[in-house]
Amino acid sequence: MFPDAPEPFIDLSTGINPHPYPVPELSSALFERLPDRAHVRRLAAVAAQCYGAPSAGHVLPAPGTQILLPQVAMLVSPGRATILRTTYAEHQRAASVAGHGVTEVSSADQLGRADLAVVVNPNNPDGRLVERDTLLDIADELRRRGGILVVDESFADVAPPGATLAGDIGRGNIVVLRSFGKFYGHAGLRLSFALAAPNLVERLDAMLGPWAVAGPALFIGEKALADEAWKLQESYAKSRLVWQLALLITTSIQEATSNSLSSSLTTYSWSAEEEALIRRIVIVLDSIHGLTQQLETLSTPLIDTYKRPSLYPHTSAPNPTATDGGDAPTSKPASPPLPDA
């Protein structure tokens, strides 16, 4: 995909921890037998504890967050869906598949006037975090209209404590999605969780049907989510910091914004005052970008120390619809010349 990239190639485009949870020894029975219901319930109990959901009955293990997106959108009858932009593009597709008319809104206070509202929190690609209290107000507004709030917390493992809505799902109309693959570094295992009120969990479970999560995923997930000792290891703490730094660098959007402002200066006609204002915005954005580059230079030795070269093949499969507002960009656009002040 990037034939000219220096090797080893560090692919930070997907926000997947390059220091995965070590794969335990797997018994062949996990592959030979169908996964059993008791194992699913055990994993749900461990996940409830790990993520802070009220009980195992509030948790549905699933084969990846992706597959849940249309299903959570189907929890309400086709109507109006609002999505806080700019974000992972699959939410828009999923809401359309579920029959909703989709509006992408630019501020959280516009989310509540809908049947289904979606927020990625922290957001992909820019790390934007919407306050828990704001989200709870939106959930209240939605509840009055029979609507549901979906909070995609696929990246919440690195969010500040207290950011998650996992403890609030008992309110009845909040669905929280957690991805196992990103933080635990096992995107290929396909494991995730929907956290919601038990009646919603039952409906999602009925949509997924039996044996949705493979036996090896149940086994690895149960072990990893319960492994507090692993989380306390110094190497884990260091890896977590390095991963956060890497995410910060690759999700920086100032440069893209500055590029689009610069190009709109030449594409559209602006009044002299508007043009002066845009030039000033671009200058400030460029200085922020300069700081991001300094951060990148400072972080590189740490990232180099803690990366595992075998994990960085020089080709990588792109995420299905990750280009527009989806996954963090894999390469940065060239900076345009700074406009004259």
Q: Indicate which single residue of 243, 319, 325, 330 sits in contact with ligand PLP (rule: CB under 6 A).
A: 319
Nearer to ligand PLP, 47 or 282 (CB): 47
Nearer to ligand PLP, 201 or 285 (CB): 201
Please give the angle made by the CA atoms of 242, 245 and 246, to the nearest 5 degrees.
85
Structure tokens at 66: 């992706």
69 in Cβ contact with 248 (< 8 Å): no
| Buried residues in 93-126 as b, exposed as e (16+ CB within 10 A) | bbbeebebebbbbeebeebbbbbbbbbbbbbbbb
Structure tokens at 18: 């390059």
When asked if residue 13 is in the footprint of ligand PLP (CB under 6 A), the reply is no
Nearer to ligand PLP, 100 or 190 (CB): 190
* Min CB(222)–ligand PLP separation in Å: 17
Q: What is the spatial distance between Cα 305 and Cα 116, in angstroms, rounded to a whole number? A: 44
Nearer to ligand PLP, 88 or 262 (CB): 88
* Min CB(318)–ligand PLP separation in Å: 11
Measured over all CA atoms, what is the biggest interatomic distance in the chain, rounded to whole angstroms? 72
Contact code string over 34-63 relative to ligand PLP, x by CB under 6 A: ------------------------------
Nearer to ligand PLP, 15 or 35 (CB): 15
* Min CB(54)–ligand PLP separation in Å: 22
Q: Indicate which single residue of 12, 89, 117, 120 sits in contact with ligand PLP (rule: CB under 6 A).
A: 120
Q: Indicate which single residue of 152, 157, 168, 222 sits in contact with ligand PLP (rule: CB under 6 A).
A: 152
Q: Indicate which single residue of 17, 92, 192, 262 sits in contact with ligand PLP (rule: CB under 6 A).
A: 192
Q: Are strands 148-152 and 192-195 parallel, antiparallel or unpaired?
A: unpaired
When asked if residue 164 is in the footprint of ligand PLP (CB under 6 A), the reply is no
Tokens 């989200």 appear where? Answer: 135
In the chain, where do the E strands start and end? 59-62, 80-84, 101-105, 116-120, 148-152, 174-179, 192-195
- H helices present in 165-253, as ranges: 180-183, 198-208, 215-226, 228-232, 234-250
Tell which phi-psi region holds residue 209, choosing left (phi > 0), alpha (psi between -120 and 50) or beta: left
Query: Segment 59-118, which members bind ligand PLP (CB under 6 A)?
Result: 64-66, 88
Q: Indicate which single residue of 70, 127, 147, 181 sits in contact with ligand PLP (rule: CB under 6 A).
A: 181
Burial of 261: CB neighbours in 10 Å, binned 0-12, 13-18, 19+: middle
Please report, for residues 127, 156, 216, 256, 285, the alpha-carbon distance to residue 153 in angstroms, rounded to integers and kept in the order given: 11, 5, 23, 24, 28
Q: Which range in 138-146, 179-187, 233-241, 305-313 contacts ligand PLP by CB under 6 A? A: 179-187
Nearer to ligand PLP, 94 or 285 (CB): 94
**Interacting residues with ligand PLP (CB under 6 A):** 14, 64-66, 88, 120, 124, 152, 154, 179, 181, 187, 192, 319, 327
